[in-house]
């Protein structure tokens, strides 16, 4: 269920951004259906930020996707989908990886060759929309996808990797510390909530990610607290796992670091 207070705050921010940018100067988002493999299409949500400095390619958790698009806005309740307006407000184009037409994005699928082929095609489409650097950003199960893409896609357009609410339990298929992290040679931020109670994402296991990033030029772990009103499943987006009630602060932390990843 979508969190009403978060929805109200995001709608207000979107309105403020539109007014600050001169109303129609801020383009609404739109969905593309991209041929990514033979007989397969993958959806992509795209929204342009005024005077953008880079693009974020977001990988939501769960089964993926960004929900319905209403009024040019993605409505899914996932943390990264809810937080998209804050990335825009901080000067980043937003691309959200959707779903392929032929499979669910479970655990094992997110590191498989078909998913990597889909991501590569989506990345090409994102680069065609904007020549700006692209940051791969994942949350929860989306960190499996984002990490695998950073490992396997050696595209010079990839500026860095941001992992939020990372999957770190060693027994979980695709867990970030178990991937070939030594192959990643871009800056990496690991951003985690101190009260994340999801069994796949214990905060105490997050240092294992940094230990594996032996070739990353910059790597940083931020364990944060904050937010309000967690509800439901502790592994779902409306709990601490989804940075509920601190979306603006979380994106502020993340984008400040992306703007200056040496600090």
Interatomic CA distance for residues 123 and 105, integer angstroms: 18
Average pLDDT taken over every residue of the chain: 91
Is 76's pLDDT higher than 60? yes
23: CB partners within 8 A, 6+ apart: none
pLDDT in tens, 52-73: 999 999 999 999 999 999 999 9
pLDDT band of 262, cuts 50, 70, 90: confident
Count: domains in the chain: 1
- What range defines the domain where residue 47 resides? 4-21+30-259
Is 51's pLDDT higher than 80? yes
Is 12's pLDDT higher than 90? no
pLDDT in tens, 117-135: 999 999 999 999 999 999 9
Q: What pTM did the predictor assign? A: 0.90
Is 2's pLDDT higher than 50? no
Query: What is the edge-to-edge ordering of all strands in the sheet holding 40-47?
Result: 30-37, 40-47, 92-100, 54-59, 134-139, 158-164, 188-193, 219-224
pLDDT in tens, 160-197: 999 999 999 999 999 999 999 999 999 999 999 999 99
- Among the ranges given (18-27, 88-97, 225-234), the one the predictor scored with the smallest mean pLDDT: 18-27
Position 25 scores a pLDDT of 43
CATH code, domain carrying 125: 3.40.50.1820
């Amino acid at each position: 269920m979508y969190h009403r207070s978060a929805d109200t705050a995001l709608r207000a921010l979107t309105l403020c951004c539109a007014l600050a940018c001169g109303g129609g100067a801020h383009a609404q988002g739109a969905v593309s259906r991209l041929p990514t493999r033979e007989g397969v299409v993958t959806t992509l949500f795209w929204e342009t930020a005024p005077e953008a400095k880079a693009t974020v390619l977001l990988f939501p958790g769960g089964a993926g996707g960004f929900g319905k698009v209403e009024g040019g806005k993605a409505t899914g309740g996932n943390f990264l989908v809810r937080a998209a307006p804050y990335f825009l407000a901080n000067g980043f184009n937003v691309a959200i990886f959707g779903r392929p037409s032929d499979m669910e994005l479970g655990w094992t699928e997110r590191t498989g060759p078909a998913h990597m082929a889909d991501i590569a095609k989506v990345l090409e489409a994102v680069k065609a929309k904007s020549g700006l650097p692209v940051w791969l950003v994942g949350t929860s199960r989306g960190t499996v996808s984002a990490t695998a893409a950073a490992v396997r896609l050696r595209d010079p357009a990839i500026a860095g990797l941001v992992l939020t609410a990372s999957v770190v339990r060693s027994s979980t298929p695709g867990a970030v510390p178990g991937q070939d992290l030594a192959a990643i040679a871009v800056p990496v931020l690991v951003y985690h909530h101190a009260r994340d109670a999801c069994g796949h994402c214990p905060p105490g296991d997050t240092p294992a990610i940094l230990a594996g990033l032996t070739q990353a030029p910059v790597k940083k772990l931020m364990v944060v607290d904050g937010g309000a009103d967690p509800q439901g499943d502790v592994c779902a987006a409306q709990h601490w796992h989804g940075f509920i009630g601190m979306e603006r602060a979380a994106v502020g932390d993340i984008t400040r670091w992306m703007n200056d990843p040496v600090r």
